[in-house]
Structures are given as structure tokens and as C-alpha cells.
Structure 1
Amino acid sequence: MQPLGLTIKDNEAYLNGHKITDLAKEYKTPLYVMDETTIKNAITTYQENMKSDKYRFDLIYASKAFLTLEFVKYIDALQLHIDAVSLGDLYVIQKSGMSLNKVVFHGNNKSNEEIEFAIKNNIGYLVIDNMNELEKVITISNKLQKAVTCLIRVNPGIDAHTHKYIQTALFTSKFGESIYDKPRIDEMLKLVKSSKYVNLCGFHAHIGSQIHETAAFQLEVEKMIDFQNEINQEYKLHLQTLNLGGGFGIKYEKDERNLSIEEMSSSLKKYIEEKLVDSNSEINHIMIEPGRSIVGRAGITLYTCSYIKQTFGKKNYVFIDGGMTDNIRPALYGATYECDIANKMNAPKEILVDVAGKCCESGDIIRKDVLIPNVESGDIMLVYATGAYNYSMFSNYNNMLKPAVILVGSNVKVISRRETLEDLCKLF
């Protein structure tokens, strides 16, 4: 839950030696803060634990969790690949200097413009979501007379135990074609075989997000390897790449059950290796796509507290200078977060409050019913595990300004500047 670089000294929170309240003072609040120690640890753990002599392994960062130009440069230097789901993603990645041949391009409704841009710029893998999209890819690749390496997204029908909004492999999901829809799969493979420029190398699946159990991933591995083996045998193909997606959960609450990256990746690797060997599979290239588990724990958000308000109904609120615009997940998913007062880390927590944002919405609550120390105006609140799907889901509702993002290691680097009032008006 807490970032690895967090320490406490004399009642104050520090991140990699930098006092949190000093960061808030220098870079203002609300402020997204990313811990370099946690990010590097997560990446290294995946890279070391998933490495195998049974297959080639690629770690694909799921960019929807958190994406800025500077962060793409950062993960590129750490030898990661990356995924994208829109023309905007592709442009940001390209603008950063990362080659698009390191990109896996997803999306259930890619436009002609997006497909053409991807093919023209030598996309690494274009993931075809459905039959209609395959026809579009064939048409555009024929027009460009340019080859494109593809995966087909399939739906293995796995009920991962997570929030319904982030389940992606049910039979009713909008993503991919069902592995049990044999006529549709047959039709797609025949089209691929007749295509001059579409080079199919394997399949992709993603069963959901914020998953805490190995059983769901083991079932995915079993179903997907069996499915790809059967396809290779029946159609006399040699598809060697399997992308298993991501979805590895993180801990948001102190008492939440969660497997570490080390436990999850070690278990996954062992099961993949055993299944590949036991089934005598041709698959020799495995991809996974973690996002939240790389950046989620690394992030904290800093807010300046105003005061505690007690209502006539005896409800206590502590007001902060951000809210649902910089963290929509509590309102959208009912997500919960832990928080502390950065300058009162060891103070007794005696006041029960709701942490309320400043948007004109009753639902703008970052955390309900949490015990905190007595808050004074100017105290700095830190909210944990905000590195994923906070910055990336920011909105300008109520014309709130987008916070800055800083990456904190031994040094501090601004990787996204704070939005200004002029920025706010530039499209009007």
C-alpha cells in the first residue's frame, strides 16, 4: 500500500529522503508524486521472475494506468515495451522517442486513421479485436502494401473476481471474439491465411483488472495454451506468441489481501513452463501487460487540508484542495484509499471524518469514515496507492486544473507540469 521509499522521521513523512511537506511547498498541491524506488522494484521483479529458458519474455507496460512523455522515456530506458489504445497514445509514445515497434496496439473499435497510422509507423503488434476490424486491417494494409504483425484478441470466458466494470473476459464482454465461437474463429483464420500483408503470430487475452488470486491466471494460461495449440494443429499454423494481458492487483487498504508481484509472477511462470512442456506446445514467446502493479503503489497524492467541518447531523468532513477530478475512482468504482497527515505521522488518530473534495458534487468523497489526527489549516494529507488511474482519468470538471506529477528518487523531476488557467482556455 505504502510506497517502498516512504519513511517517517520526527513525525514527518519522507520519500527517498525528501520531506513530503517540502515537496508540497515547492511544487504546490494537489500534487501527484511517484516513487522511483517502487517502480524500479516492480519492473525488476517482473523481469527477473518471468525470465525463462522455455520461452522468450516481453514485459509490456499497460500505459492506460499512467502515461506521460517523460514516463515513456523512463520505462524505455528500463527495457520495457508498452501498449497503446488510441491515436493519442501512439502519438505520445512516438513523441517521446520510443520506437513504435515496441508497441502493442489494442482497442475494440480502432478507426481507419488509427490503423493506418499504426501500420505506416511500423507498429510492433496490432491486436485485432473482431471480425469487422480484421477486414479493416486487411483493406488498409492492402492499400498501403505494407505488412503488419498481428495478434487476435480472444475471450476465454473467465469470471475473474473483481469489480464488474473491470471484468473483461466474460462471454458478454465487448472485447475480443470468444474462443468457443468456432465458426467466427474459423472465418477469421481463413481471412488471415488469404491476406497478403497480415502476419498473424498468435493470440491475446485479458481477463480483467485488480485481480488478487493466482487461480484466475492459471485458468487463463491453461485455456489459452490449449486453444492456441488446437488452432496450430487444426489449421497447420505455427503461431508462437501468446499475450496473457495484465490485471495483477495491488493493495489499497491495510487489511486487504494481496499477493506480491514476486508471488504472482513466480507462480505464473511456473504454471506457464509446466503447461508448455506438458502440452508440447510450439509457443515460445510470452507477453504480459502489467500497469497498475508497476505504478499504483508508487503513487501518492498530496493535498492541503483546510479545516474540519461538523454538520448539524454530527458528520465530520475534512476539506482538501483536490477531489474527484484528480481521483475519480471512489465515485466511479467505490474504491477506497488509506491516508495520513504527512506532518503528523505519529499523532493519535482520534477524529472520524470523510475526506471531501472541493467539487460541487455530494459524491466528491475521497475516503469515508477514516480516523485522522486533529487537522489544522495547511496540514498536508497524503493519499496512498494513487499511481494508477488517477492522473490518467483526470477531468477538468468544475474547471479544476490538472496537478503536476513529480518522480522522486535521489533527485526530484517534474514529469508533467501543473496545468495553468491559460491552458484551460486554449481550446475555447
Structure 2
Amino acid sequence: MVSTHPTGVQHSGSQYLPQSWDTNTNSSPNQELLPLTARVHDHDLLEIGGCDVTTLVEQFGSPLYILDEETLRSACQQYRDAFKQYYKGESQVLYASKAWNCLAVCAIAASEGLGIDVVSGGELYTALQAGVSPDKIYLHGNNKSREELILAIESGVTVVADNWYELHTLVEIAQPDDRAIRIMLRLTPGIECHTHEYIRTGHLDSKFGFDPNDLDEVFTFVSQQPALNCVGVHAHIGSQIFERQPHQDLAAVMVQWLRDAGKYGLKITELNVGGGLGIKYIESDDPPSIEEWVKAICEVIQAACAAENLPLPKLLSEPGRSLIATACVTAYTIGSSKVIPEIRTYVAIDGGMSDNPRPITYQSVYRAVVANKMSSPLTQTVTIAGKHCESGDILIHNALLPKTEPGDILVVMGTGAYNYSMASNYNRLPRPAAVVVANGEANLILQRETYEDLIRQDRLPERLKK
């Protein structure tokens, strides 16, 4: 039996489905949302990457991000191999590291042949420190500082220019004897797609990118600047997208930009179609597979280039969520509960909006299992509450779980994207630790913050000391 994981990765059902789960009973409808290596061992405990989740919590504490290396590598390989299969020209997959930027994740992606998309000096510095080759790093951002641009130029990475201010700043920074700065131009394609308002970036009313109506002026300016080596154009239409048609429309529009650039003497050799492929957070989500998404993009680009009699450009894409999200879970320890008769039951965990701000920010929906009661019947519908001093700090509404008790380990699935990367110290909670698991081995990749870490940057003026 072969089925498709939420990341789009193909896997064998016998390897993936936990052996003790009966999908015909009320035991757990959520197994397909877990990482590829998830299984239940003989003591009814959840394992990921060959590691018992409850033991990981005992060793590293909770909340705890648990990253399954096999799932992440499989998604990287799926993207990389699909482009090689369906695109006749050169291609490069870039990991959109804003989803989760840290040394280990950047290193894993790079080891699979991926480049890295960064959006700040901090993300750029991290990618470089992880050993990523500068020629595979692309710097985005709608308001890059002068310092960030200088770091990018000195490091030899590609700058994705977003606006006029940035173009003029790059020209000012450039030194006469230096090699021309390698740039791409980010353009706004004016394509709407079905996604959350906050994460739609392709429509014209967006803070990102040049207006396509200014194309003549932009191409003219860039063509006259010896300090700028414009190698490509970039566009991105949003995130958590299930439809293929908006990406196909984008690909066709971008080939027209490629054609138009030639009229200005610009030798555009790269097209970056962005990313945005959605993943399966809940059972009803139905995104295309990675292979289906890549195939659709490649077919449109190749057909459009043939129609315009253009050579195939180097084709870049920037998946983030669909690479990392389902590779990670977050383990929490259950604490207090509150029963409000005929209304709801609250079950509280030792984390919440500071380690996963997406539910309160985007109204995102997640699923969960209890790691130490994997085969227990699902008899409770509860609201999973965080521990922060906010009524809105609710992680999951109406979670169907076994009867829980203090000390049980709740595992929330699909937390690899925009969880740690958006984490905060709200209420002065230390940010959690993270481990990567593979073949029964767990390695710390992010150390848990301490109370000392929380006050490390604080300064107490002498006049306030007692």
C-alpha cells in the first residue's frame, strides 16, 4: 500500500501507520498528520524517529519541539527530484527559512542540495554559519537595512530587490572596483488566491514588490546601472495555498516579464516562482502533492517559453511550510483542567501562544494526540488552553482526546512552520528546546532558554537599585 503524506512525500503504509492503531475504531483519526517515522510501540507510547516521545520529554523537558529528520529530508528530496523529472532546464529549490531558521535545519536542507531563502540579516548570518554556499542564498525583504545589504554584498549572496529605495541604496553602496551586485527583481503579479488575508502577497495591494505597471521604468533604470547585475525576476502569491491554478497563472505571467526584460538588454536567466504550497493540518485539508505542484509549474513555464521562443531559464522555487511543517511536532505536559457543565472542558498545557502563536494570530487549526495513551478510546472533547494570561490563548478548540490526567503528554502535530520562528517570551516564558530525531537518536538543536537568558539583555540603572 502506498499513500501520500501531508507533505506530499510518498511513503509505504506499513512503515508509516502506527502498528497498534486500528483505523476502523475510535482510537485515533489523526495518524496521517504525524511525521513519517511515527509509530506506537508495545507500551502504547508514541515514537518518532525511533525515539519514545515521553522519554524525550523526561530528558529535554516540555514544551519540546521534536523534528523528524527523515520527514524533512524526504520532502527536500521530493521537491528536488520532481523538478529534475519535469523540468528540462536547470532548477534550484530554495528552503524558505522564515518557516524555521536555525543552524540544524539550514544544514539539513543544504545537505539535500537545497539553497536557502532568507529575509533578514539574522537569517542570512545563520545560513552562512550553517555552511550554506553563498551562491545558493537569496535575500528577500521589503525594507532591508543598509547593514543587511552590505552583509549580503560582502557575503556574495543574491539580493532580491523589492523597491526603489532599495535599488538606489544598492547603487550607493556599490564600490567602483567591485563586481556588480547580483540581484533579482521582485514584482507583484496581481494574482489572488484562497488563503488568509495576512499571508496573501501576490495581489496588487501588497507591501511587497514592484508594481507591474512600473515595469518599463524599473527595467530601464536597472539596465543603466553597471553596479547591478540583474539575473532574474521573482514573485510570490501567498502561503498555505491548495489551488494549482494561481501558481500556473503566475508562471505564465513571469515568462512575459522574462520576454519583456530582453527588450531592455537585460539578460534574465532565472525565474523564481516563490512557494506557498499548503499542507494538511486537519483531515479535511486536501493540498496537491509536491510532485503534482512541481509538475504543474514546470509544464506552464516550458509551454510559455516555447510559445515565446525563449530559452528555458533557471527555475527556482521557495517552499517553506510544505518542507518543514509536518516534520515537527510539539510535546506538552498536561496540567490543570476546568469543567464548565454543559459548556466545555478546558485542559491546560505548559505552553501555548508563546511557542505557537498561529492559532491566536491566524485562527489556525491543529490536531493532537496523547503520546502515552495512543490506543485509548477518544472519549473527551476538550479545549486545549495555553498557560498565558490571555483568554485567547487557546491552542485547539474541540479536540477529541482520550480521558486525560495531569502529567499526560499532549503532542500537537504539524508545528514545524512558523512556530519556533514566531515564538516569543510573552509573560516571560523561556522559549522551548528543540531536538532532531533519527534512527533512535535525539540531538539537541535548540537549547531551552533559562530565566537567566530572559534577563541577559536587561539593564537596571544605578538609581533604581536598592
Give the TM-score taking structure 2 as reference length. 0.88
Give the distance between the partners of 1:244 and 1:17, measured in 2 at CA: 37
Secondary structure at the counterpart of residue 297 of structure 1: helix
* Paired residues of 2:139 and 2:159 also in contact (CA < 8 A): yes
* Paired residues of 2:385 and 2:396 also in contact (CA < 8 A): yes
Alignment gaps of 5+ in structure 2? 1-32, 459-466
1:87-126 deviation line (CA, Å, top 9, x unaligned) = 1112212222323232100000111111111111211x11
Secondary structure at the counterpart of residue 326 of structure 2: coil
Shift of 1:39: 0.6
1:143-158, aligned counterparts within 5 Å?
A: 145-158=178-191
What's the counterpart of residue 223 of structure 1? 253
What's the counterpart of residue 35 of structure 2? 3
What's the counterpart of residue 89 of structure 2? 55
Shift of 1:267: 2.4
Amino acid at match of 2:160: V
What's the counterpart of residue 405 of structure 1? 434
Bigger shift: residues 398-407 or 13-22: 13-22
Matched, 1:319 2:353: no
* Paired residues of 1:151 and 1:201 also in contact (CA < 8 A): yes
Bigger shift: residues 362-371 or 252-261: 252-261
Shift of 1:230: 2.5
1:208-247, aligned counterparts within 5 Å?
A: 208-232=238-262, 234-247=263-276
Secondary structure at the counterpart of residue 177 of structure 1: coil
What's the counterpart of residue 89 of structure 1? 123
Alignment gaps of 5+ in structure 1? none
Q: 2:149 aligns with which of 103, 115, 124?
A: 115
1:266-277, aligned counterparts within 5 Å?
A: 266-277=295-306
Give the distance between the partners of 1:144 and 1:327, measured in 2 at CA: 47
Secondary structure at the counterpart of residue 35 of structure 2: coil
Shift of 1:53: 5.7
Q: 2:292 aligns with which of 248, 263, 271?
A: 263
1:339-373 deviation line (CA, Å, top 9, x unaligned) = 01011111111111100010000000000012211
Bigger shift: residues 277-286 or 329-338: 277-286
What's the counterpart of residue 446 of structure 2? 416
Matched, 1:385 2:414: yes
1:27-426, aligned counterparts within 5 Å?
A: 27-51=60-84, 54-123=88-157, 125-142=158-175, 145-179=178-212, 181=213, 184-232=214-262, 234-311=263-340, 314-410=343-439, 411-426=441-456
Aligned residues: 423
* Paired residues of 1:49 and 1:269 also in contact (CA < 8 A): no
Amino acid at match of 1:272: I
Q: Give the 3 Å change call, closer, same or farther, for CA 31–143 of structure 1 in structure 2.
A: farther
Amino acid at match of 1:186: D
Shift of 1:54: 2.4
Amino acid at match of 2:373: K
1:275-306 deviation line (CA, Å, top 9, x unaligned) = 22233223420100001000001010000011
Bigger shift: residues 394-403 or 143-152: 143-152
Give the distance between the partners of 1:236 and 1:121, measured in 2 at CA: 27
Give the distance between the partners of 2:173 and 2:141, measured in 1 at CA: 17
Give the distance between the partners of 2:186 and 2:301, measured in 1 at CA: 19
Could you say what the CA RMSD is over the residues aligned between the two structures, in angstroms? 1.5
Amino acid at match of 1:7: R
1:294-336 deviation line (CA, Å, top 9, x unaligned) = 0001010000011431136642001100000000000000000
